[in-house]
């Protein structure tokens, strides 16, 4: 069955800039995203957090707009504007009525090409980002998971937190941001993703008028990220809190690996949905926690599968033993026909419903293109999900749940529990 009723294309301009277009005439909105291959994987240790800092700073003013002008002009047309930084890229995006798409493209291009990085604004925004770090440090699950990935990927670019640190932020000035911006905010490291009620011709026109005509140079720039040497360690953090927060990191596949489809089916069945095995066992049957979840994160040449839970101190060992029992059962018996069918339907439904959102399509197609240089194949993804077998799920589970390579993290008032040793027992 073909679920895709939209036209989707990717073209590359002379400068190296890529345009992804997803046409949906059933809506009256247009989402535009500017994806730049700038994230922690492109930062040195001393630059940790600079990609995220730039994401903030471009909204503080350009050569033609003040910070207030940017938000006021966006609000005046009822549009939404925002940005986010991931491990591998940064995205600036808008959603508006189709009639206001050109105005949004103009504003986004201004943010991309002409940020001033004004020193006075930089000092104020440095304080804002430091408060963001403080907020994260006051959030135990953030602390648990951030420390987990830092330990797991130690010595690799992926070990760095997206926000950076207070130390690295204090070392950044306007000149450092401008230098980093000049290096990475180049057309061959950029994808323009446009989705919604806008024709391919009009999307090309906007791309050429506001981006391609202002681009200089050509070529094919891309940050190459090496495979990581993974570390099976335990990281502990003593914190005066009521719950014990526990995380595990297992090796997984890179973003473009075809086996990631089976991993996604696995995660739906095993650890992601309310009906999944981990939720039903640790939360519903044993009543040990409110939150338990497992999910994959994949990058260029690297991947990780995370399991996280928060429980009372008295239930921590029981929760870990229950997680181990469910993994053992999975590796011994695999999944049932009913679980496989349910997992596939849940995953396909999520993809299909996402097509009803122009913002979701913009993000999906843009993120895929900036990470692979290719067009996201929606119908191919649906077909690949349908083709997953029980054996495929079992095989990826055996690869992922390698207890000799697992890392652990604990954040608690009493952080003495060796969570990895207990999981291996």
| Assigned architecture for domain 7-214 | 2-Layer Sandwich (3.30)
295-305 pLDDT per residue, tens: 999 999 999 99
Q: Known catalytic residues?
A: 55
Mean pLDDT score across all residues of the chain: 95
Query: Residue 2 above 50 pLDDT?
Result: no
For the domain covering 234-424, report its CATH number: 3.30.830.10
Q: What's the confidence (pLDDT) of residue 217?
A: 67
Measuring CA to CA, how many Å separate 258 from each of 381, 384, 396? 10, 9, 11
Confidence of residue 179 (pLDDT cuts 50, 70, 90): very high
Report helix, strand and coil shares of the chain as percent, to nearest 5. Answer: 50, 20, 30
Query: Residue 380 above 90 pLDDT?
Result: yes
Query: Residue 1 above 70 pLDDT?
Result: no
Q: Which of 317, 353, 335, 357 is nearest to 267 (CA)?
A: 335
Which pTM value belongs to this model?
0.95
Q: In 3-state terms, what secondary structure has residue 79?
A: coil
Q: Tell me if domain 7-214 and domain 234-424 are identical in fold.
A: yes
Per-domain residue ranges of the chain: 7-214, 234-424
In this predicted model, which residue has the larger pLDDT, 207 or 223? 207
Kindly report the three-state secondary structure assignment for every residue of 378-413: HHHHHHHHHHCCHHHHHHHHHHHCCCCCCEEEEEEC
């Amino acid at each position: 069955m073909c679920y895709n009723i939209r036209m989707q294309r990717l073209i590359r301009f002379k400068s190296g800039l890529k345009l992804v277009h997803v046409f949906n005439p059933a809506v009256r909105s247009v989402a535009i995203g500017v994806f730049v291959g700038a994230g922690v994987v492109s930062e040195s240790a001393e630059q940790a957090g600079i990609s995220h800092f730039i994401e903030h700073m471009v909204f503080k003013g350009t050569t033609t707009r003040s910070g207030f002008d940017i938000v006021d002009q966006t609000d005046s047309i009822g549009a939404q504007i925002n940005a986010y930084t991931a491990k591998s890229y940064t995205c600036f995006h808008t959603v508006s009525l189709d009639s206001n798409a050109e105005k949004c493209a103009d504003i986004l291009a201004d943010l991309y090409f002409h940020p001033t990085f004004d020193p006075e604004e930089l000092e104020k925004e440095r304080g804002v980002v430091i408060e963001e770090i403080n907020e994260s440090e006051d959030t135990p699950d953030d602390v648990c998971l951030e420390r987990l990935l830092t330990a797991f990927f130690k010595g690799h670019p992926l070990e760095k937190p997206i926000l950076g640190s207070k130390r690295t932020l204090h070392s950044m000035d306007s000149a450092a941001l401008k230098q980093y911006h000049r290096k990475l905010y180049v057309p061959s490291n950029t994808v323009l993703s446009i989705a919604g009620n806008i024709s391919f011709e009009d999307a090309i026109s906007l791309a050429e008028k506001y981006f391609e005509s202002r681009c200089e140079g050509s070529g094919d720039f891309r940050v190459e990220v090496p495979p990581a040497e993974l570390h099976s360690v335990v990281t502990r953090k003593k914190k005066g809190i009521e719950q014990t927060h526990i995380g595990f990191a297992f090796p997984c596949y890179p973003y473009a690996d075809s086996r990631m489809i089976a991993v996604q089916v696995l995660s739906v069945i095993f650890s992601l949905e309310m009906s999944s095995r981990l939720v039903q066992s640790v939360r519903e049957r044993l009543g040990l926690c409110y939150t338990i979840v497992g999910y994959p994160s994949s990058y260029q040449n690297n991947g990780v599968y995370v399991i996280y839970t928060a429980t009372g101190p008295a239930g921590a060992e029981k929760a870990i033993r229950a997680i181990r029992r469910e993994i053992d059962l999975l590796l011994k018996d695999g999944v049932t026909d009913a679980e496989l069918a349910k997992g596939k339907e849940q995953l396909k439904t999520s993809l299909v419903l996402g097509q009803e959102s122009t913002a979701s399509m913009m993000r999906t197609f843009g993120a895929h293109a900036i990470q692979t240089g290719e067009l996201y194949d929606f119908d191919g993804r649906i077909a690949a999900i349908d083709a997953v077998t029980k054996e495929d799920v079992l095989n990826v589970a055996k690869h992922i749940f390698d207890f000799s390579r697992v890392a652990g993290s604990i954040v608690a008032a009493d952080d003495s529990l060796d969570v990895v040793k207990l999981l291996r027992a």
